[in-house]
Structure 1
Amino acid sequence: MITNIPRKDAIELIGNTPLVLLQAASEAAGCEIYGKCEFANPGASVKDRAALGIIRDAEASGELTPGGTIVEGTAGNTGIGIALVANALGYKTMIVMPDNQSKEKMDTLRALGAELVLVPPTKFSDCNHFVHTSRRLADETVGAIWANQFDNTANRKVHIETTAAEIWDQLEGRVDGFTCAAGTGGTIAGVGLGLKERDENVQIALTDPHGAALYSYYAEGELKSEGTSVAEGIGQGRITGNLEGAPIDTQFRISDEEGLQWVERLLREEGMCLGLSSGINVAGAVALGKQLVANGREDARVVTILCDTGFRYLSTLYNAEWLASKGLPVFGWLER
């Protein structure tokens, strides 16, 4: 439950984020579409929750000891969350990230005091993939733990215990659908499991970008990718530890172009500056809402995740030259 009482420390600022009715998306879907404002976390993304859950779990198990180092491979946002939590709790941070992620994320990690290791982007099967590199560095560093956000189920556990509970309370127990994209799978699996515990009829939908393999897995039982996406932090080619047993009822595949349409509308019409993953999530929520309405649920309520702030993508998503170089539509105001 969101309260106005003072928090005892910065860690307590993580979670309890607002839920907002998205007017344009609701109109497009014919039912209520809500966005969980995860950009309101201290690290400006949903990954603050996973960072806190993983660190607290490592403390409780005794694996992480005072003054230790937390090593993680990440597209950026989990690293930012880990760095902030680690600073607050007296730990050091080493972050391994593909060098094709946004400059803003790299600059933020350095500003937070994290040791940043950049590696070329490569397939997960490559031993030099950022995940495998981070595991090796953790093994080689005295007093370090590997956060392992993809397969460490402390990630999804925090979403079962916090995100799902908050959504249920904020909508007073009337939730008909939830959807978001998967990176680690922690958010969709955790929120899905948490909502299903309360009402097994809540529809949980995967919203997958092009270039990822989960859409075909849940639709056809085969991990198969199609197309590409420039979205950072979402899209997965394997069933991670967090995705095992995820209660996915249906799935949608969303293009970057459709996601960008919602990024543009959310900023221009509703005053929210968000990243592409949020636009893709909202497109998926509209698709799920339309599906529920078509099945006779005109009063349906669908929730999705507004993952992070668009200010993290000023050199990419909000840069006319970058968009044009990717063959993507340029927001009208950027051309002026």
Structure 2
Amino acid sequence: MTGAEVRSVLASGTVLGRTILDSIGETPLLELPRLASAIGLPSGTRLLAKAEQLNPGGSVKDRLALTLIEDAERSGLEPGGTVVEATSGNTGISLAQAAAVRGYRLIVVASTKVSQEKIRILRALGAQVHVTPNVPHGNPNHYTEVAKRLAAATPGAVYLDQFHSTANVRVHEEHTGPELLEQARQLAGRLDAFVCGVGTGGTFVGVATYLRRASPRTKVVLADPSGSVLAGGGQFRSYLVEGIGDDAPPPLFDPALVDESVVISDRDSFRFALLAARTEGLLIGGSSGNHLAAAAEVALRLPAGSVVGTIFPDTGRNYLSKFFDPEWCAANGLAGLHEDGGR
């Protein structure tokens, strides 16, 4: 960008904001040609990823958090009040960012599966953090149950409940989905397949609902970790990827939106995250690696020249003590993952 172009952008006001919250959304859609070449995609096949890790809080959850806060304000959240949420980390970080700007007290509940990086960021942003055992749904110590009890016991507190909030779908149907499709059309002319996992279900359902209406020929593919039950039931088994999959379908998830499912192992999820770092310079999380591995599998199945898009939900900086650490990998059954550079 030339100096004149920089001055033009600054004059337009498009890069200006009153607070950090003004920089949420409108993330870039990136093409990944070096990674596509490294994994042997056919010539002309295009692999695209919406870089939600570039939101100021480091994840796609920034979009949801601001919407949850604004909905709570419209419903009577008092200035200086307390909000409570159950989180696998990213929604909590995004809420902590919004709460700091808007002047609210935040209480978050997360399980022991959540990385220490996320816990430390939450506390750095001023959140009060409660950590629970990593137990199944229905257990009274499950992080959602603990969050409900804390909200009920805290005078005036508002439990945001991302797992049931219609705002969780709405923000992605109204914003993320339209951004993704328009960017794909500008970059590649169309979008043949969209690949995404399910945590709360908000991103998947919101984007898929928009695509059903605006681009019905786009195939919608569920990416699910091996061990999760969302791609086809079966017995739940614990897995290492954070933020997607579950032992039961979340309330917002609509399986009728799924055209196809792809199940990805922990090893392949983390391998593709490493590949993104070492071929494209992108530091992404394990769920992003899961999405990327599933998108690559879909791209290999489709005819040469197809356009496959996915979403990178969060930054790899949340996992430097986990799969980016060879010692952690060795201790968790992933020995050798780093030896070949993720290839």
Q: Same fold (TM over 0.5)?
A: yes
Match of 1:152 in 2: 165
Determine whether 1:108 maps to 2:124. Answer: no
C-alpha displacement of 1:333: 8.3
- Is the 2:241–2:269 Cα contact (8 Å) retained in structure 1? no
Match of 1:286 in 2: 296
RMSD (Å), alpha carbons: 1.9
Distance in 2 (CA, whole Å) between partners of 1:64 and 1:288 is 44
Q: Which runs of 5+ in 2 are unaligned?
A: 1-12
- Is the 2:195–2:222 Cα contact (8 Å) retained in structure 1? yes
Determine whether 1:225 maps to 2:235. Answer: yes
- Is the 1:275–1:308 Cα contact (8 Å) retained in structure 2? yes
Distance in 2 (CA, whole Å) between partners of 1:260 and 1:76 is 18
C-alpha displacement of 1:108: 0.6
Determine whether 1:177 maps to 2:193. Answer: yes
Match of 1:40 in 2: 54
The 1:149/1:246 distance shift into structure 2, 3 A limit, reads: farther
Distance in 2 (CA, whole Å) between partners of 1:327 and 1:63 is 49
**Count of residue pairs brought into register by the alignment:** 322
Correspondence for 1:89 among 79, 102, 122: 102
Superposed, 1:156-167 pairs within 5 Å as 156-167=169-180
Correspondence for 1:188 among 199, 204, 211: 204
**Alignment-mate amino acid for residue 316 of structure 2:** G
Distance in 2 (CA, whole Å) between partners of 1:181 and 1:171 is 19
- Is the 2:136–2:247 Cα contact (8 Å) retained in structure 1? no
C-alpha displacement of 1:272: 1.0
C-alpha displacement of 1:249: 0.8
* TM-score of the two chains, using structure 1 as the length reference: 0.90
- Is the 1:19–1:167 Cα contact (8 Å) retained in structure 2? yes
C-alpha displacement of 1:184: 0.6
**Alignment-mate amino acid for residue 289 of structure 2:** G
Correspondence for 2:152 among 139, 142, 167: 139
Superposed, 1:1-336 pairs within 5 Å as 4-27=14-37, 28-30=40-42, 31-60=45-74, 62-172=75-185, 174-216=190-232, 223-225=233-235, 227-244=237-254, 247-293=257-303, 298-328=304-334, 329-332=336-339
- Is the 2:112–2:131 Cα contact (8 Å) retained in structure 1? yes
Distance in 2 (CA, whole Å) between partners of 1:235 and 1:183 is 6
C-alpha displacement of 1:226: 5.1
- Is the 1:211–1:229 Cα contact (8 Å) retained in structure 2? yes
Identity %: 37
Cα displacement string for residues 30-57 of structure 1 (whole angstroms, at most 9, x for unaligned residues): 3111111111011101111111122222
The 1:145/1:264 distance shift into structure 2, 3 A limit, reads: same
The 1:134/1:226 distance shift into structure 2, 3 A limit, reads: closer
* TM-score of the two chains, using structure 2 as the length reference: 0.89
C-alpha displacement of 1:65: 2.5
The 1:123/1:290 distance shift into structure 2, 3 A limit, reads: same
C-alpha displacement of 1:128: 1.2
- Is the 1:153–1:241 Cα contact (8 Å) retained in structure 2? no
**Alignment-mate amino acid for residue 283 of structure 1:** A
C-alpha displacement of 1:227: 4.3
Distance in 2 (CA, whole Å) between partners of 1:37 and 1:246 is 26
- Is the 1:193–1:246 Cα contact (8 Å) retained in structure 2? no
| Range with greater deviation from structure 2 (86-95 or 232-241) | 232-241
**Alignment-mate amino acid for residue 286 of structure 2:** L
Distance in 2 (CA, whole Å) between partners of 1:114 and 1:187 is 24
Q: Which runs of 4+ in 1 moved over 6 A?
A: none
